[in-house]
């Protein structure tokens, strides 16, 4: 049997050890934001306020010619001359090729001779018909003779009309031996050479002309993205509003001339569910070329209410989703998920998640935690604009 004194001594020693351990834990508890005797941490906030803003969207696109014309011959013949410089600018109506006109000049001369012959025949028929009108009154000729003379005169008049039409056709064909530019623009390389036989309305083009001032910039978007684009750029009640377009080149340098865009005459491709949005861009210096990759920045046609906060307000949760820290009316910190939009200088557009009057923390994140109190202090003016303080 154990000694009672030893048991009592052991119990007293254990009790003292428990008390000492409790005191050590209490003294080792660091002061924190939730400590009863510690003041709440101080933070700087940005008050969310909606303001009229012109929204912008950057979309990839490609340049396309404003108009394209394939030059083809309209008469048969041997090509004699090429009268343009490849890669140069040509004007509508400018002669590009000369086809051998000899046979067409001969056809015109033949048609003119036929007209003279028809006119001579018509003069004779007309004189006979007029004379028979007098003779029939004296019964010198029969009524049938007068009818025949009158018919011969009318046939001669028809022959004159046919000869004139033949002359007009011959002149048109002769003029077609000069192959002219149908539109103004930049002409590419010649696809035929002197001495080649060309035929009317042949399948292969002789050259291709592209009008590149102004120029199209085509942007392909899905039909769903198009709806968002219309909404963000201010299209309402089924109407398409124009938007200004800023163009950036392949090296990200800005193009000197702005374009314009309208959401009109677009159709959804049933195979891809996409649409092509077309912007018209001036190109007086011929810097932009068809097929060039470009970036189009679309600016809304009207101002819409939007909330933007400094970029340092945006934090990331464990899923890398954007969120902000707020201080509510009770002085408690809240974490709220937001949907961000475009960058607007040193601020970020908030699509959803904030409302007017929300106090968004932009300095002092290391001191706060969601669910604990925080104290709002005034920030220097440069901090409120989104710049770092010294």
Q: Return the HEC string of 180-199.
A: ECCCCEEECCCCCCCCCEEC
Please write the tens of the pLDDT for every residue from 8-43: 666 666 666 655 555 444 444 444 444 456 788 888
Residues 322 and 341 in one domain: yes
Mark whether 245 and 294 lie in a shared domain.
yes
Final residue before a domain boundary, out of 268, 303, 338: 303
* Boundary of a domain, candidates 303, 336, 355: 303
Going by pLDDT thresholds of 50, 70 and 90, the confidence category of residue 218 is confident
**Are 219 and 293 members of one domain?**
yes
* Same domain? 297 vs 372: no
Q: Give me the domain span that covers residue 229.
A: 58-65+214-303
Q: What's the CA gap between 90 and 96, in Å, rounded?
A: 9
303, 330, 345 — which closes off a domain?
303
Same domain, yes or no: 277 and 294: yes
d(CA 248, CA 213): 17
Q: pLDDT tens digits for 256-271? A: 998 887 655 567 778 8
Residue owning tokens 């109190």:
373
CA 249 to chain centre: 14
Of 15, 33, 29, nearest in space to 333 by CA: 33
Report yes or no on 36 lying in a domain: no
Whether 244 maps to a domain, the answer reads yes
Residue 346 domain-assigned?
A: yes
* 214 upstream amide cis, omega within 30 of 0: yes
Q: What pLDDT shows up at residue 262?
A: 66
User: Do 349 and 367 share a domain, yes or no?
Assistant: yes
pLDDT over 60 (residue 362): yes
Q: Is residue 146 situated within a structural domain?
A: yes
**Do 272 and 327 belong together in one domain?**
no
Same domain, 288 and 317: no
332 located within any domain: yes
CA separation, residue 98 to residues 69, 73, 341 (Å): 18, 10, 59
Q: What is the model's pLDDT at position 261?
A: 78
Residue 358 is assigned to a structural domain of this protein = yes
Q: Tens digits of per-residue pLDDT, 300-335?
A: 767 778 888 998 899 888 888 899 999 998 889 999
Q: What is the pLDDT of residue 276?
A: 80
Range with the poorest average pLDDT among 88-92, 190-194, 329-333 = 329-333
Count of structural domains within the chain: 3
Whole-number Å distance between alpha carbons of 180 and 92: 7
Give the three-state DSSP class for 4. Answer: helix
How far apart CA 149 and CA 136 sit, in angstroms, is: 12
My answer on whether 280 and 332 are in the same domain is: no
Q: Which of 234-248, 336-350, 358-372 has the highest mean pLDDT?
A: 358-372
Cis peptide before 329 (omega within 30 of 0): no
| pLDDT in the model for residue 383 | 41
Distances in whole angstroms, Cα of residue 281 to Cα of each of 6, 37, 56: 101, 67, 17
Segment 180-202 shows an average pLDDT of: 94
What CATH number is given to the structural domain containing 127?
1.10.287.470
Judgement on whether residues 242 and 295 belong to the same structural domain of the protein: yes
> d(Cα 56, Cα 58) in Å, to the nearest integer?
7
116 assigned to some structural domain: yes
pLDDT in tens, 100-156: 999 999 999 999 999 999 999 999 999 988 898 888 888 888 889 889 989 999 999
Give the C-alpha separation, 352 to 368, whole Å.
24
In terms of domains, do 114 and 158 share one? Answer: yes
Q: Is the pLDDT of residue 169 over 90?
A: yes
- CATH number of the structural domain spanning residue 359: 2.40.420.20
Token output for 215: 């120029």
Q: How far apart are CA 319 and CA 270, in angstroms?
A: 36
Tell me, yes or no, whether 299 lies in a domain. yes
272 φ/ψ angles, rounded to the nearest 5 degrees: -120, -10
Same domain, 169 and 227: no
């Amino acid at each position: 049997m154990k000694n009672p004194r030893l048991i009592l001594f052991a119990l007293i020693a254990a009790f003292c050890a428990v008390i000492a351990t409790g005191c050590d834990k209490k003294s080792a508890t660091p002061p924190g934001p939730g400590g009863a005797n510690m003041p709440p941490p101080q933070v700087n906030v940005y008050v969310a306020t909606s303001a009229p803003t012109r929204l912008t969207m950057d979309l990839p696109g490609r340049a396309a010619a404003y108009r394209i014309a394939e030059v083809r011959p309209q008469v048969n013949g041997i090509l004699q001359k090429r009268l343009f410089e490849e890669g140069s600018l040509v004007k509508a109506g400018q002669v590009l090729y000369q086809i051998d006109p000899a046979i067409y000049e001969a056809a015109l001369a033949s048609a003119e001779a036929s007209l003279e012959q028809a006119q001579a025949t018509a003069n004779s028929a007309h004189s006979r018909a007029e004379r028979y009108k007098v003779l029939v009154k004296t019964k010198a000729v029969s009524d049938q003779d007068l009818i025949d003379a009158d018919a011969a005169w009318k046939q001669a008049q028809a022959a004159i009309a046919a000869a004139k039409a033949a002359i007009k056709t011959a002149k048109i064909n002769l003029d077609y031996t000069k192959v002219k530019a149908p539109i103004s623009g930049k002409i590419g390389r010649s696809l035929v050479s002197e001495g080649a036989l060309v035929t009317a309305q042949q399948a292969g083009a002789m050259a291709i002309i592209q009008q590149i001032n102004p120029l199209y910039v085509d942007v392909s978007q899905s039909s769903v993205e198009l709806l968002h684009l219309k909404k963000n750029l201010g299209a309402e009640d089924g109407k398409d509003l124009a938007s200004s377009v800023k163009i950036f080149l392949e090296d990200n340098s800005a193009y000197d001339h702005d374009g314009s865009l309208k959401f009109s005459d677009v159709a959804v491709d049933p195979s891809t569910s996409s649409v092509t949005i077309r912007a018209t861009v001036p190109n007086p210096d011929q810097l932009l070329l068809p097929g060039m990759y470009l970036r189009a920045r679309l600016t809304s046609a009207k101002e819409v209410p939007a909330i933007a906060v400094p970029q340092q307000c945006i934090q990331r949760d464990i899923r890398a989703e954007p969120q902000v820290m707020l201080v509510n009316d009770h002085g408690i910190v809240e974490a709220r998920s937001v949907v961000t939009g475009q960058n607007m200088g040193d601020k970020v557009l908030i699509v959803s998640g904030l409302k007017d009057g929300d106090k968004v923390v932009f300095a002092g994140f290391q001191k706060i935690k969601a669910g604990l109190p925080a104290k709002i202090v005034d920030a220097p003016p440069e901090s409120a604009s989104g710049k770092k303080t010294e």
